[in-house]
């Protein structure tokens, strides 16, 4: 065996004589002077301003119509009816009329909105069973205790889907009608599928395996949430492929909102209809509403939103305003630095010791 050199004495812990360990690697140290910093500040202010103006014009190019129907018109009768929980099973409908002054061109999206409804409460968000909505047979009739007290009814029958999130699902329904100047009324067709994220529809939410059984037979031995009027396997009577845990209204609702005031997608204009091929024409419209969802108990409001979208989204002015404010602050800082630089001299001769 070869002998290794034994290092001892004051040089024993000295690093190797290499460029890396002796910190002799080439480096670039920028010299921050007024001639380099001030142009950068002005350039950054211009870039932020251009981005802000561009995004602001993009946002303002979208068209949006908001309508609060909580107690509007004859919806006031339904609003009063829903004050009493004992009237929850009693049907109530109303009609809201409005007009569109300028055509909504292109794809039009129909949203429902709620105010002062806190879906972001931790206990509320935890009150669900993702294993159950994933379609696992063993969990279907044995929901998680996180769903309590909405896991079983008073007779011990398991609830599907369980939890406070599903139990509070928004259940108003809408029918939009276009009234021609000739007096004829044309129903506005809305696509009720294609509303969800791909991962939600195909990964997070699945129906249990049927094995030659109907969906109703698979859910036998369970009951719908306490405040539901329809079992989960028949939420959409018009489309049998949109029932169970893969119902798109359910999936959209189960994705909790981050803020108490929010809107969720209800439908998309079907432009295959020749009357609406270019979008929603200007004119008079009405919405027939099946008024079911109570808002008095949390002092909330509800409404609908008709809007067009761009690649940037809908009418959200936050980012454009943020860019414009940032641009203003940077420009102000640049002007202050320029004045200070000019006052004390370009070569620093006027700087006091």
Top mean pLDDT of 14-18, 36-40, 173-177 is at 173-177
Determine phi and psi for 271, rounding to 5 degrees.
-80, 5
* Residue 277 placed within a domain: yes
Residue 253 near residue 169, CB atoms below 8 Å: yes
* Residue 13 placed within a domain: no
pLDDT at residue 79 above 90? yes
Name the residue range of residue 124's domain.
60-311
pLDDT tens digits for 184-217? 999 999 999 999 999 999 999 999 988 888 999 9
Q: Among 30-44, 144-158, 277-291, which stretch is predicted with the lowest mean pLDDT?
A: 30-44
* Total domains in the fold of the chain: 1
Mean pLDDT of 165-178: 95
Going along the chain, which residue ranges are E strands? 64-68, 93-100, 104-105, 109-115, 173-179, 185-187, 190-191, 262-269, 279-280, 283-290, 301-307
Note the helical H segments in the chain.
34-60, 75-81, 122-126, 130-133, 137-140, 164-167, 198-199, 215-218, 248-254, 318-344
Mean pLDDT of 50-75: 93
- Cα separation values, 248 from 193, 202, 331, Å: 6, 11, 48
* Residue 242's pLDDT band (cuts 50, 70, 90): very high
* Residue 27's pLDDT band (cuts 50, 70, 90): confident
Query: Does residue 68 come out as left (phi exceeding 0), alpha (psi in the -120 to 50 range) or beta?
Result: beta
Bigger pLDDT: 84 vs 112: 112
Identify the pLDDT of residue 353. Answer: 45
pLDDT at residue 301 above 70? yes
* Residue 306 placed within a domain: yes
| C-alpha–C-alpha distance, residues 184 and 177, integer Å | 10
Q: Which two tokens stand for residue 327?
A: 């641009």
Identify the pLDDT of residue 1. Answer: 47
pLDDT tens digits for 100-151? 999 999 999 999 999 999 999 999 999 999 999 999 999 999 999 999 999 9
* Residue 294 placed within a domain: yes
Bigger pLDDT: 243 vs 89: 243
Identify the pLDDT of residue 14. Answer: 79
Residue 111 near residue 263, CB atoms below 8 Å: yes
pLDDT at residue 352 above 60? no
| C-alpha–C-alpha distance, residues 206 and 132, integer Å | 9
Long-range contacts of 146-149 (CB under 8 A, 24+ apart): none
| C-alpha–C-alpha distance, residues 203 and 196, integer Å | 12
* Residue 42 placed within a domain: no
Q: Per the confidence metrics, is the pTM higher than 0.75?
A: yes
- Cα separation values, 290 from 7, 96, 256, 267, 294, Å: 88, 11, 23, 16, 12
* Residue 19's pLDDT band (cuts 50, 70, 90): confident
Identify the pLDDT of residue 8. Answer: 63
**CA 61, 62, 65, 68 torsion-angle sign:** negative
* Residue 268 placed within a domain: yes
Identify the pLDDT of residue 349. Answer: 54
* Residue 76's pLDDT band (cuts 50, 70, 90): very high
pLDDT at residue 15 above 70? yes
* Residue 5's pLDDT band (cuts 50, 70, 90): low
| C-alpha–C-alpha distance, residues 325 and 142, integer Å | 53
pLDDT at residue 154 above 70? yes
* Residue 339 placed within a domain: no
Mean pLDDT of 224-250: 93
Bigger pLDDT: 302 vs 312: 302
Bigger pLDDT: 24 vs 291: 291
| C-alpha–C-alpha distance, residues 200 and 124, integer Å | 19
* Residue 215 placed within a domain: yes
Identify the pLDDT of residue 55. Answer: 95
Bigger pLDDT: 27 vs 330: 330
Q: For the chain, what percent of residues have pLDDT higher than 70? A: 94
Alpha carbons within 13 A on the beta-carbon side of 309: 13
């Amino acid at each position: 065996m070869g002998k290794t050199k034994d290092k001892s004495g004051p040089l024993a812990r000295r690093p190797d004589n290499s460029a890396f360990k002796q910190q002799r690697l080439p480096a670039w140290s920028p010299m921050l002077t007024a001639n380099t910093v001030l142009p950068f500040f002005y350039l950054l202010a211009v870039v932020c301003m251009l981005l802000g103006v561009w995004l602001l014009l993009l946002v303002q190019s979208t068209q949006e119509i908001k309508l609060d129907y909580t107690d509007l018109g004859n919806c006031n009768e339904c609003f009063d009816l829903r004050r009493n929980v004992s009237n929850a099973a009693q049907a109530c409908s109303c009609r809201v009329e409005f007009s569109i002054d300028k055509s909504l061109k292109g794809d039009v999206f129909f949203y429902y909105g709620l105010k002062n409804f806190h879906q972001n409460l931790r206990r509320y968000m935890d009150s669900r069973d993702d294993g159950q909505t994933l379609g696992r047979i063993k969990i279907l009739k044995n929901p998680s205790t996180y769903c309590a007290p909405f896991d079983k009814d008073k007779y011990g029958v398991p609830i599907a889907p369980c939890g406070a999130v599903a139990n509070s699902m928004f259940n108003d329904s809408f029918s939009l009608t276009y009234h021609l100047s000739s007096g004829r009324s044309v129903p506005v067709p809305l696509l009720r599928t294609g509303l969800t994220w791909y991962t939600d529809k195909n990964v997070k939410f699945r129906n249990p395996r049927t094995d030659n059984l109907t969906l109703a037979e698979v859910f036998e031995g369970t009951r719908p949430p306490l405040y539901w009027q329809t079992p989960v396997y028949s939420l959409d009577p018009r489309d049998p492929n949109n029932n169970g845990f893969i119902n798109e209204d359910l999936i959209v609702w189960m994705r909790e909102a981050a803020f108490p005031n929010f809107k969720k997608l209800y439908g998309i204009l079907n432009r295959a209809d020749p009357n609406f091929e270019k979008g929603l024409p200007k004119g008079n419209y009405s919405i027939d509403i099946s008024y079911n969802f109570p808002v008095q108990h949390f002092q909330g409001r509800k409404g609908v939103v008709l809007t067009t979208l761009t690649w940037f989204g809908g009418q959200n002015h936050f980012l454009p305003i943020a860019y414009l404010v940032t641009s203003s602050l940077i420009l102000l800082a640049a002007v202050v630095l320029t004045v200070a630089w000019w006052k004390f001299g370009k070569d620093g001769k006027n700087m006091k010791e």
